[in-house]
Amino acid sequence: MLALPAVTADLNFMAITLYLLLAWALMSLGALAMVSVQLRFQNDIGFMPLARKTVGRLLSIVTLLFSLLLLYSLLCAYTVATGDVLHTILSYLHITIPKPLALLLTALLLSSVVYRGIGAADKLNRIFMFIKIAACFLLIASIFPSDHWPNLALGHNAYTKNGFLVMITSFGFGTILPAIGEYLQFDRKRLFRVTVLGGLIPLVLYLVWVASVHAALTHEQLMTLMNSGNTTETLLQQLITITAKPVLQSFAWIFSAICTFTAFLGVSISLLDFLSGALKIQRTKRPKLALMALTYVPPTLIAMLAPWLFIQALAYAGVCCVFLLIVLPLWMWIKCKWQNNNSLP
């Protein structure tokens, strides 16, 4: 949500809507295919084991590479974003710390939640999501008086590769479906319901959010946001400027923080689960410290050394999403249908 206003800055809202609908449709189709395949092979959790069972060893190796690129790119991006949010909030509280330290602190804090298991992350995520939706609508309501709706017609319809790839990544919930399948004990109805609603709810929120921000900011502000090296921090500052009343500034802080925290938690669980399956490290209630180190040390170091990677990392992740969350699940689903005489749902 924090990247979308930036990568769509030079598009008009009609084009944004069409691209978001296309991204949602493609990713939802891939996610439903993934759920069907996972229900067929309940003892093989994760993309790589499922790929090995359905499309062969060679494609499973390709899946391994794309999965690592996708999940590490996402976690790197969200580590940068969480660090930006913490750094901005602390600066408004007149607490000055180096930005690399802010990145490290948020990574340590949120990884400690993941270490307690998917159940703990799920409970915290539910609380976060409730607060996030409330803060989102309060923030939208607070910037509504500043909205100039004719602004939505400004911009062009031209396709932008990075913009569409970030939109694809915005519906990348398919990465966590293997972990959710196991968590929900492979309950078919609940899994399909979670998959459909898990894509539909953010689609609506994205459209409302982008429309509100694009109508509130001037074209110059949008261009500044698009070219900023600190996208999250720049957007947060612009929203705080728009919501001039001090009491409304907290909505921008809370919303931006929780956007990044929920994304960080979801990707962390996906990467932890993937590494556990790929390295054949037995799952326990609490992951082993070596697994935690493999999950968090590489993206945290990259984020500390190159914090400008936020948008680029999301775009790289989008390339991986196209293969991993659209092409591969549909390929596996077709292979399973053929092998099982069309009996697969």
Question: Side chain identity at 298, as an amino acid letter?
Answer: P
Mean pLDDT of 319-338: 86
DSSP state of 282: P
Mean pLDDT of 211-216: 86
Q: 71 is written with which tokens?
A: 């999940």
Residue 159: name the closest of 16, 319, 312 by CA: 16
What is the C-alpha to C-alpha distance for residues 265 and 259, in angstroms, rounded to an integer?
10
Q: What is the pLDDT of residues 50-88, one digit of tens each?
A: 888 888 888 888 888 888 888 888 888 888 888 888 887
For residue 200, the model assigns a pLDDT of: 92
Three-class DSSP category at 201: helix
Q: What is the pLDDT of residues 95-138, one digit of tens each?
A: 888 888 888 888 888 888 888 777 777 788 888 888 888 888 88
Residue 321: name the closest of 50, 27, 102, 82 by CA: 27
What is the C-alpha to C-alpha distance for residues 6 and 274, in angstroms, rounded to an integer?
30
**Given a cut of 80, is residue 325 above it in pLDDT?**
yes
**Given a cut of 60, is residue 19 above it in pLDDT?**
yes
What is the C-alpha to C-alpha distance for residues 324 and 321, in angstroms, rounded to an integer?
5
Under 8 Å between Cβ of 304 and 103: yes
**Given a cut of 90, is residue 252 above it in pLDDT?**
no
For residue 151, the model assigns a pLDDT of: 76
For residue 247, the model assigns a pLDDT of: 63
**Given a cut of 70, is residue 285 above it in pLDDT?**
no
Question: Side chain identity at 245, as an amino acid letter?
Answer: K
User: Taking all residues of the chain, what is their mean pLDDT, rounded to a whole number?
Assistant: 81
DSSP state of 11: B
What is the C-alpha to C-alpha distance for residues 163 and 273, in angstroms, rounded to an integer?
29
Question: Confidence band (pLDDT; 50, 70, 90) for 26?
Answer: very high
**Given a cut of 60, is residue 343 above it in pLDDT?**
no
Give φ, ψ of 338 to 5 degrees.
-70, -40
- H or E stretch at 110: helix 99-115
Residue 98: name the closest of 295, 254, 304, 287 by CA: 304
Q: What is the pLDDT of residues 138-161, one digit of tens each?
A: 878 877 777 677 878 777 777 666
**Given a cut of 90, is residue 207 above it in pLDDT?**
yes
Range from 38-47, 163-172, 194-203, 221-230 that averages highest in pLDDT = 194-203
Going from the N-terminus, what domains does the chain have, and what CATH number goes with each? 4-339 (1.20.1740.10)
What is the C-alpha to C-alpha distance for residues 284 and 194, in angstroms, rounded to an integer?
25
Q: 44 is written with which tokens?
A: 């093989």
Mean pLDDT of 220-242: 74
For residue 229, the model assigns a pLDDT of: 65
What is the C-alpha to C-alpha distance for residues 277 and 279, in angstroms, rounded to an integer?
6
Question: Confidence band (pLDDT; 50, 70, 90) for 29?
Answer: very high
**Given a cut of 90, is residue 225 above it in pLDDT?**
no
40 exposure class (CB count in 10 Å sphere: 0-12, 13-18, 19+) = buried
